[in-house]
Amino acid sequence: MNRKVSFLVVFLVYCSIGYSQKVKYKDLVLLLNSKQYEVAEPHLKRYLKSDDDTPHAFLFMGIVFQEKSMANDLLKHTPILLSNSDSALLFFDKAYNTITERELKKHDEYYEEMYSRRDPRTGDFGVKFSDVRLDLETRVKNIKERKEKAKELKKHFVESERQYLATVEQFKIIQSKFTSQSSFFLKSDEALVQQLTKLAQTYDSALMAFGNYRTALKAIQKPNYNQQFNPQEITDFRKEGTSPADFFTDDLRIWDYKRWAKSSLETIENVINPLRERLIAYDISLNKLDLKLKRDSVSIVSDLDHLEDGLLYAQLSKYDPNPLPLSIFEMKKADLRYKSSVVAHKPFKDTSNLMLKLSFLNEELKYVDRLDSLAKKLLERDIAVEGENYQHFITKSYGNQAVLNSLVKTTQDFANREKLKKELDWESTMQTTKWAIDEKDSIPLFFEQSRDLKFKPLLILENKYTIGLQYSDSTATGYLYSITPSRRPDVKATFEVDKTSFTKRNLPILKCVSTTDALQQVFFSLIYAESKVQERFPVTITKVYRSDGLAWSVNLQLDFMPTELIYNADTAELSIKISTMGENKIIVIDKNGKQIQ
């Protein structure tokens, strides 16, 4: 029968069955032989309800369920597949027990389509009983095998998915405990190590179960599945690792939890734990230097410099841009540097060298100011929260956070007291450096014309000498004092000046120029008024020796205002440069104060 005729026959049979009150089995056979199982199934079931003694119907009912089980999805519809397989086995068992040679002879037309073949001896076509029984036995065997394979496949599939989901949940628990990758490593402890180890083990179990699933899958013909694990690396701990995996797709993308866990464990073991031990060792080293400083009263700055560990700072900063332990170390080092500077300066405590004392105070203030700043910044930080990242360090080094808090507060109070004390000492010393002390006289080393002072400086060369006028009532006397570190002059001289021109009321217009020899053994000064007296500028020139004091003092009248003094050590002559009409002229004074030209 060609395809068009076959289709027409099946269609007519289907229509007759559909409109018929009672199913005619011979009509059903046409549908079944043409493998229209889906169409034939409900009618075949209805037929069997009214006639449950038809071996051929049992055979085809078994085939219908077998075909349905073959069409069922191995993973998504496993219970239905097993149910259909059991139903097929049931009907095949009935068929096996009821199909006899007599049945085949009586209804051979029902079996011809499936079992008719040529007899090699006679050349005739026919149905053999042995062929039917062999077919039934083969079908039963195949169904049983497929059923067991399907159960085994689904078992391993479910186990691999269950183990993987368990891994996901374990990862989520770990992830939920930490706000960042840094806190994950810095807060790591033995409990986390155990969790990571378990995570890797569970992941291995998922891989093993999936391997068993793949083995079971290969034993099934045309399973319609070919899943392959495609592990994805977790690069961002906070954003990755929780998206679901579709175990039914062939490109099965899963998160590589074992790789992440193993990498994390290696970092904890090889980086974080050694870092913790180095932090503790570094803190111990600082404490030892503190004990040495207190015991021996010696500066430990050189020891402190040798203790610097840039690698420790660099490694820890990878996990925390502002690590609490490093801030503590910086505070403790600043404390040691300040105390070392105080100890180093102690032998000079009673020095009369004010400038040396001031330089010491500047250095101490620099260190104590840094100490105060670092301690204040630490107090402003939430040590309780930040300390969670460094619990191991705090516990081993300080016992608890309360002790650490007390240390920071005590250090800040100390720094505040020391800073105030040093600032007062500095201010007092600085004020002292503004005066040169000559017995009962205090000579100002600053310009402040508004003050009612006995000494009025006209020239101050820092840390060298000062020249000015001393007034008794309104009468002026010139002076020259060296400026020494102790502010006790080792060169001093007073001299007569032009009393008429250098009165107190003329002070605003009085100026001074000076010069010395290279070794500052001879000092020259020239005091002059910027206004003319009787068409000339009055001046007083002096020469003072460091060893012998005042050599001479002379008053002169110059036609032009002086601008510079030049001393020639070879001739012992003093040249006065004056400026007139844009031209420079020189007046020479010999070693005895006499004008040469």
Distance, in Å, from the CA atom of 262 to the CA atom of 253, rounded to the nearest integer, reads 19
What pLDDT is stored for residue 310 in this prediction?
A: 85
Distance, in Å, from the CA atom of 118 to the CA atom of 127, rounded to the nearest integer, reads 9
DSSP secondary structure of 144-199: HHHHHHHHHHHHHHHHHHHHHHHHHHHHHHHHHT-SSHHHHHHT--HHHHHHHHHH
Query: Side chain identity at 93, as an amino acid letter?
Result: D
Please check whether residue 480 is in contact with residue 543, taking contact to mean a CB–CB distance below 8 angstroms: no
Mean pLDDT of all residues in 288-309? 93
- Asked whether residue 378 carries a pLDDT value surpassing 90, the answer given is yes
User: Is residue 67 exposed (0-12), middle (13-18) or buried (19+ Cβ within 10 Å)?
Assistant: middle
Cα 350–Cα 355–Cα 359 angle in degrees, nearest 5: 90
End-to-end CA distance of the chain: 152
Distance, in Å, from the CA atom of 464 to the CA atom of 482, rounded to the nearest integer, reads 6
* Percentages (nearest 5) of helix, strand, coil residues in the chain: 55, 20, 25
What pLDDT is stored for residue 1 in this prediction?
A: 43
Please check whether residue 289 is in contact with residue 343, taking contact to mean a CB–CB distance below 8 angstroms: no
Distance, in Å, from the CA atom of 120 to the CA atom of 392, rounded to the nearest integer, reads 90
**Left (φ > 0), alpha (ψ -120 to 50) or beta: where does 510 sit?**
beta
How many other C-beta atoms are found inside a 10 Å radius of the C-beta of residue 564? 15
Q: CA–CA distance from 229 to each of 19, 210, 214, 329, 580 (Å)? A: 54, 8, 10, 49, 101
Residue of 408, 397, 369 lying closest to 287 (CA atoms): 397
Q: How far is CA 13 from the centre of its chain?
A: 79
Residue whose structure tokens are 């010395």: 516
Residue of 164, 156, 141, 140 lying closest to 78 (CA atoms): 156
Q: CA–CA distance from 43 to each of 25, 46, 48, 58, 88 (Å)? A: 9, 5, 9, 13, 17
What pLDDT is stored for residue 20 in this prediction?
A: 47
Query: Side chain identity at 103, as an amino acid letter?
Result: E
The predicted-structure confidence for 17-44, as pLDDT tens digits, reads as follows 444 446 678 888 888 888 898 999 999 9
Mean pLDDT of all residues in 507-532? 95
What pLDDT is stored for residue 89 in this prediction?
A: 97
Mean pLDDT of all residues in 44-73? 91
DSSP secondary structure of 341-354: HHHHHGGGTT-S-H
DSSP secondary structure of 295-326: HH----HHHHHHH--HHHHHHHHTT-SS-HHH
The predicted-structure confidence for 204-227, as pLDDT tens digits, reads as follows 999 999 999 999 999 998 899 999
- Asked whether residue 582 carries a pLDDT value surpassing 80, the answer given is no
Residue whose structure tokens are 């039934």: 136
Query: Side chain identity at 188, as an amino acid letter?
Result: S
The reply to whether the predicted model has a pTM over 0.85 is: no
DSSP secondary structure of 542-574: EEEETTTEEEEEEEEEESS-EEEEEEETTTTEE
* Confidence at 281, pLDDT banded by 50, 70, 90: very high
Between helices 25-33 and 108-115, what is the axis angle to 10°?
0
Query: Side chain identity at 195, as an amino acid letter?
Result: Q
Which region among 35-39, 210-214, 242-246, 388-392 has the lowest average model confidence (pLDDT)?
Answer: 35-39
Which residues partner with 538 through β-bridges? 557
Q: How far is CA 508 from the centre of its chain?
A: 65
Residue of 467, 493, 484 lying closest to 551 (CA atoms): 493
Please check whether residue 65 is in contact with residue 44, taking contact to mean a CB–CB distance below 8 angstroms: no
Q: What is the mean pLDDT of the chain?
A: 92
What pLDDT is stored for residue 451 in this prediction?
A: 67
* Confidence at 7, pLDDT banded by 50, 70, 90: very low
**Left (φ > 0), alpha (ψ -120 to 50) or beta: where does 152 sit?**
alpha
Sign of CA dihedral 185, 187, 190, 194: negative
Mean pLDDT of all residues in 559-578? 94
* Confidence at 3, pLDDT banded by 50, 70, 90: very low
Please check whether residue 280 is in contact with residue 393, taking contact to mean a CB–CB distance below 8 angstroms: yes
Q: How far is CA 143 from the centre of its chain?
A: 62
- Asked whether residue 8 carries a pLDDT value surpassing 90, the answer given is no
What pLDDT is stored for residue 121 in this prediction?
A: 79
The predicted-structure confidence for 332-344, as pLDDT tens digits, reads as follows 999 999 999 999 9
What pLDDT is stored for residue 6 in this prediction?
A: 45
Distance, in Å, from the CA atom of 285 to the CA atom of 279, rounded to the nearest integer, reads 10
What pLDDT is stored for residue 17 in this prediction?
A: 47
The predicted-structure confidence for 426-485, as pLDDT tens digits, reads as follows 999 999 999 999 998 999 999 976 667 889 999 999 999 999 999 988 789 999 999 999
Domains assigned to the chain: 3-152 (1.25.40), 178-263 (no CATH), 271-432 (no CATH), 436-589 (no CATH)
Dihedrals phi, psi of 436, to nearest 5 degrees: -95, 130
Residue whose structure tokens are 């060169």: 491
Alpha helices in 219-318 (DSSP H): 257-267, 273-296, 301-307, 310-317
The residue that leads in pLDDT, 580 or 140, is 140
What pLDDT is stored for residue 19 in this prediction?
A: 42
Please check whether residue 489 is in contact with residue 435, taking contact to mean a CB–CB distance below 8 angstroms: no
Mean pLDDT of all residues in 141-165? 96
DSSP secondary structure of 47-103: HHHH----HHHHHHHHHHHHHHHHHS-TTTSHHHHHHHHHHHHHHHHHHHHH--HHH
The predicted-structure confidence for 336-370, as pLDDT tens digits, reads as follows 999 999 999 999 888 889 989 999 999 999 999 99
Q: Kindly give, in sequence order, each residue whose CB lies less than 8 Å from that of residue 502, ignoring residues fewer than 6 positions away.
A: 469, 476, 510, 527, 529, 538, 540
Residue whose structure tokens are 């500052």: 520
Which residues partner with 519 through β-bridges? none
Which region among 23-27, 124-128, 276-280, 418-422 has the lowest average model confidence (pLDDT)?
Answer: 23-27
